[in-house]
Structure 1
Amino acid sequence: MIRYAVVGLGWISQKAFLPASTLTGNSVVTALVTGDTEKARKIAEQYGIDTVVPYENYDALLCSDLIDAVYIAVPNPMHASFAISALRHGKHVMVEKPIATSLADAEAMIRSAQQTGALLMTSYRLHHDIGTVEALKSIRSGAIGDPRFFSATFSFQSDPDNHRLRAEYWGGPLQDIGIYCINAARHVFAAEPIEVLAVISRDENDQRFREIYDSIAVTLRFPGNRLGQFYCSFAAHPLDVYRVVGTQGTISMEPGFRFEEPMAMEIESSADSKRIEFAHYDHFAGQIAYFSQCIVSGSRPIDDGEEGMADLRVLIAIERSVSTGLPVSLEPQVYRNGPSHASVRMIEPASLPPKVDVR
């Protein structure tokens, strides 16, 4: 069993990661790291976890033999410091996305993993679900010809207490849910974007958005005259869908990004039209089981630090476009292999939380 410490006990840790860890068969949570030890002890009792550690004692935990890996789910600006500390102590790290808030921090995280040999994985749960991988397989097989255009809409009404509404946490719909659209577009085209252009909107009468914009629309230009567009919002009716238009057909995925319901794919072309409803598996259990297997085998995860940094560089370029109102070019990057059946882990969910968060 790979022993994990969960760092940060927000919604995603409590309602998704912790329940999923009990389903994996190769992973167990043995410690909680938190700023609220009273709350943490109640959670620890529920899961039979013996060790509860305040943030200030994190390094002492890392020096112990109580854990092998950490799952980091604290606010975005804290990802790098917690991850680097763990990696320097030889502990493996799974960190929520975005991997960091600056390229310098992401590079430091990757460098720490390289220096110690500990594994660094960015938490892309969709890379381990059959629906995502089958969609990419269909595109690669030529089912819709040459993919030319990607579009996505990902929106919901944010809870006023969501910490992602705060600027100090690098909050906003782009970082929280837009990153899913960016990641999907990159893998659909098997390429890295070379230019971005973004427009935002903010309802000044909505008190939720005193610090951040509520919605953003983004255009991504890829090599080969391919385009991607997405809209994401914290202030719109819930919608979760993406579509790929090819030279000979289309593929639609709905839901495309969330985890509470199984994915369904529709393919329409001149040769065939079909709908595939995928079995429902626990995305979090799948990614935990996959990472633990990587730790045991010493294999680098497909969604490693470089994968997290690939999306981060696009996020930063989009933010620059927002601030200037102009297109922003990106340095050409070599695309690496994306998720495949080798990264899929099919573990049935025990139960499902209500639709509140999407990580």
Structure 2
Amino acid sequence: MDLEAAVENYAERDWRTGVEGTVRFALVGIGWWTTDVAIPAIESTELCRTTTLVSSSAEKGRRVAAEHDVDHAITYDEFHDGAAADAYDAIYVATPNAYHLEYAETAAELGKAVLCEKPMEATVERAERLVETCEEHDVPLMVAYRMQTDPSVRRARRLIEDGVLGEPVQVYGNNSQPLLEMIPDPDQWRLDPELSGYGTSVMDLGIYPINTARYLLDRDPVAVQAWLTSSHEAFSDVPDERSSMLLRFEGDVHAVSTSSQRAQRDSQLKVTGTEGQIDLRPAFGGQCTLTVTRGDVTVELSDESMDAEREMELEFDYFADRVLGGDPIGPDGRHGLTDMRVIEAIHEADRTGGVVEP
């Protein structure tokens, strides 16, 4: 096998169908991720445009709209009342987890497509309601797993499908960041279980290696064990300042995953097979280096132009391509529900000290 040729034989937008048009977005929740990443990403897309901003603050909405030449700025209440509904075709939900459902419900009732940030909601039950609402109103729903449109990750999946690793055997994933240095507020929503859901490190960070492993392997976890701890006073209301878990995937692939909200920023995802290994690092923070080893041959490929904004640009364009063409969406609501059930099982496994089947 020519490993170098196998690694390089990839088209970045392999999902592109050639459909033309524009999907106009209402962005719901204009925190730093929306203003610093999502809005600039949409400005770089081929198929998307931001036409509406939805915020709790009318003043902030108008200010950000003026800064980015966005046509409409409305409040959450105005959104629910249908204001500016003719100005957008889809919504992007980037509020705290526990608010995703209410905005998706309104969008579905208005016949708007929904791109919802991960995790889909705060609990499995609310996530189920979100999916059922979108299905009932026959509107497209995608969960915003931006790794699934990241070129390095898609290339890795193709290599695994082509048998470069032989049979997958094991996975190692980690994701950590210094949350309190990034956002120096102990009262922030990620540390409030009423808003974040089951916890903080698994919901916010651990979901990345779990979902990306699911995507790469095209398999789901069937059993989990977990150990969650919190020691810093800012994490007193959530069980998982740091987490570690064992997961057994379909086909007897074993995985170890760790995450922490109070540690040096780092991320990695490594898949080892009977004949080779794929290592993505940093796996979830842009500028990923893909290292592929088969026997005594190693090929390394880096994309220094990749960052969170470009990842989001590809994600938005993928979603728009599917909405415009009416084609099935890859990470849809049912796909996101599996992650919610796995996360719930992880927290249950920690509480019981046993093995839990999602």
Q: Tell me whether the two structures share a fold, i.e. TM-score over 0.5.
A: yes
Report deviation, 1:97: 0.5
Q: Distance in 2 between matches of 1:248 and 1:299?
A: 35
> 1:207 is aligned with what amino acid?
E
From 297, 301, 313, the counterpart of 1:272: 297
Counterpart for residue 193 of structure 1:
221
Report deviation, 1:63: 7.1
Q: Distance in 1 between matches of 2:64 and 2:117?
A: 20
> What is the percentage of aligned positions where both structures have the same residue?
28
Q: Which runs of 5+ in 1 are unaligned?
A: 331-359
User: Is 1:101 aligned with 2:126?
Assistant: no
Q: Distance in 1 between matches of 2:275 and 2:41?
A: 39
CA contact (8 A) 1:79 1:99 kept: yes
CA contact (8 A) 1:62 1:86 kept: no
User: Is 1:4 aligned with 2:45?
Assistant: no
Counterpart for residue 316 of structure 1:
344
Q: Distance in 2 between matches of 1:295 and 1:243?
A: 33
Q: Distance in 1 between matches of 2:34 and 2:356?
A: 35
Q: 1:115 to 1:62 in 2, by over 3 A?
A: farther
Q: 1:62 to 1:258 in 2, by over 3 A?
A: farther
Q: Distance in 1 between matches of 2:319 and 2:269?
A: 27
Q: Secondary structure at the match of 1:19?
A: helix
Q: Distance in 2 between matches of 1:296 and 1:100?
A: 26
From 113, 122, 128, the counterpart of 1:92: 113
CA contact (8 A) 2:26 2:92 kept: yes
CA contact (8 A) 2:148 2:215 kept: no
Q: Distance in 2 between matches of 1:125 and 1:188?
A: 13
CA contact (8 A) 2:72 2:84 kept: no
Q: Which runs of 5+ in 2 are unaligned?
A: 1-21
TM-score scaled by length of structure 2: 0.87
Report deviation, 1:12: 1.2
User: Is 1:248 aligned with 2:248?
Assistant: no
From 258, 262, 273, the counterpart of 1:231: 258
Q: Distance in 2 between matches of 1:64 and 1:193?
A: 40
CA contact (8 A) 1:172 1:214 kept: yes
TM-score scaled by length of structure 1: 0.87
Counterpart for residue 333 of structure 2:
305
State the Cα deviation string for residues 121-158 of structure 1 (Å, max 9, x = none). Answer: 11011111210001111122222221111001111111
Counterpart for residue 25 of structure 1:
46
Q: Distance in 1 between matches of 2:346 and 2:83?
A: 36
CA contact (8 A) 1:130 1:278 kept: no
Q: Distance in 2 between matches of 1:274 and 1:65?
A: 50
Q: Secondary structure at the match of 1:25?
A: coil
CA contact (8 A) 2:148 2:212 kept: no
> 2:189 is aligned with what amino acid?
H
State the Cα deviation string for residues 274-322 of structure 1 (Å, max 9, x = none). Answer: 1112363411111111111212111221111111112111111111112
> 1:3 is aligned with what amino acid?
R
User: Is 1:128 aligned with 2:149?
Assistant: yes
User: Is 1:61 aligned with 2:82?
Assistant: yes
| Alignment coverage as a number of residue pairs | 326
> 1:290 is aligned with what amino acid?
Y
Q: CA RMSD in A?
A: 1.6
